[in-house]
Amino acid sequence: MKTFRLIGMALLAVVMSVNFTSCSDDDEPSKNDDGVITNQKQLVELRMTYEDGESVITEYSYDSKGKLLSANHDGRTYSITWGANKIIESRGGSAVTYTLENGLVTHTSDSDGGDLDNIDFTYNANNQLVKLQTGEDYLSCIWQGEKLTKMIESYSDEDFYELSYSGKICKGYLPIMVWNVDDLRPLLEAHPELVGMRCNQLPDKIYSKDEYNEETELYSYTFDKDGYLESCTEVSTYKRLDNNETRTETTIYTFTWE
């Protein structure tokens, strides 16, 4: 599975094949004053299962207004504190502060310090994320309608990630798409709308390349009776460009909604 933290990152995306469910006008996401979607199911568990059978589970708990209060990731507990245009996600002795404007995150800062822990967010007129910037380095996100189609790193046009689609969609959103912003952030997994990444358009393939490697990721999905994503199987093929060595890995993701 691919994740990246803006610098030296690797894109993760996920896809589905088989049937898909279209959303009616009544199913259009509706936000409350905190910028949180309130009229769709909530993600309560995300399970990752690797080829060796090992599983990593994240569980999510919400308040009566649908805002994430806490999450447990593989035995580590995260607590979420909501304030006026600010959200703090804490674990142990460290914390990430999210600064918001008009329901969207504009900046994150990490108590651990470091350049990569201070990130600025830029959006287009449709409130979709178009740039992540830390210092002089940034990542550009290109959209075609509701589809994220390409991501390019500022320091090299040859380091890119391309997403291919064939019209598949789901009810709700794709939880792990937000890992394109940052990994292991339960707040964003539960509320990707806060960073313009609540995506129900599902790519079929991702191709990525840098100076040393290229990778192709293919995915297949299943759905629950309401059209929300139930499971995803990701098959990733990695290739080293210096010696053409290749390897393939499979990861299964399971989602539970309430």
Name the phi and psi angles at 173, rounded to 5.
-155, 175
Query: In this predicted structure, which of 104-108, 146-150, 209-213 has the lowest mean pLDDT?
Result: 209-213
> pTM for the full model?
0.84
pLDDT of residue 33: 79
Res. 27: pLDDT tops 70: no
pLDDT of residue 2: 39
pLDDT of residue 160: 86
Residues in CB range of 167: below 8 A, 6 or more apart: 20
pLDDT of residue 156: 66
pLDDT of residue 181: 72
C-alpha to C-alpha distances, 8 to 11, 137, 160, nearest whole angstrom: 10, 11, 11
- Selection from 7-16, 112-121, 235-244 with the highest mean pLDDT: 235-244
Distance CA 236, CA 9 (A): 16
pLDDT of residue 251: 96
Average pLDDT over residues 56-74: 96
Res. 25: pLDDT tops 50: no
Res. 158: pLDDT tops 80: no
Whose CA is closest to 207, among 165, 175, 176?
165
Ramachandran region, residue 187 (left: φ > 0; alpha: ψ -120 to 50; beta: rest): alpha
pLDDT-derived band at 6 (thresholds 50, 70, 90) equals very low
66-100 residue pLDDT tens: 999 999 999 999 999 999 999 999 988 889 999 99
Whose CA is closest to 118, among 12, 5, 198, 9?
5
DSSP label at residue 70: E
- Selection from 107-111, 137-141, 151-155, 235-239 with the highest mean pLDDT: 235-239
